[in-house]
Amino acid sequence: VGCSGMILTLIMCKAMNRNLANVLFSGFGGDSTTSDAEVEGEMKAASTSDAYYVLEAAQTVVIIPGYGMAVAQAQHAVKELGDLLEENGTEVFYAIHPVAGRMPGHMNVLLAEADVPYEQLVEMDTINPRMPSVDVAIVIGANDVVNPAASDDKSSPIYGMPIIKANEARTVYALKRGQGAGFSGLINQLYFLEKTRMLYGDAKETVTSLVSEFKR
């Protein structure tokens, strides 16, 4: 068990571009004032009916799950939404970050439980080159793994950590319970982009509402 835990820890360190000592002792995200001060604009809320019209017209949708999907147990609703999008002629992928959730493979297990086809699960390095051509990215409870500060802000504690580049999609919908920060304690710059709209509330309830819009 100890060896398995160490292997998983090292995998997570590699995915975060950090060494083990840095992760254990650096106070990751403890003082985010410098990075947060550079965030401009405001989070813009949208309704599920607004999101439906954009999704209904989308040719490519990438779903990016995170810990919020796990907490809400929303994976089955997410699978149903993906099926409805495909029936509408949309190409659907599920982009998996190595440390999304609380352990490597967490999202893979949940989506496999919901019978999401394996070929639709796409790793970060595979999906990132395609993101500029993606019509809609749906971020479901993920935070730090899609934060553009990791690529753009050298003062950020997460600078250098590989991320899924949701910010390069044409439109972003972020599902979140509220306006709080993620595990690192950092505000996510993605949420303040002009192209991003927030869908607040429990992830399962929000996705179920989107499913209902498609079934009308």
Which amino acids are annotated catalytic?
144
Give dist(CA 79, CA 114) in Å, integer: 6
Lookup: tokens for 120: 């639709």
Q: How far apart are CA 190 and CA 47, in angstroms?
A: 18
**Can you read off the two tokens belonging to residue 106?**
């967490």
Taking every pair of Cα atoms in the chain, the longest distance, rounded to a whole number of angstroms, is: 53
Helix/strand/coil for 171 = strand
Q: State the DSSP string of 57-124.
A: H-SEEEEEE-HHHHHHT-HHHHHHHHHHHHHTT-EEEEEE-TTSSSSTTHHHHHHHHTT--GGGEEEH
* Tokens 């493979």 belong to residue: 105
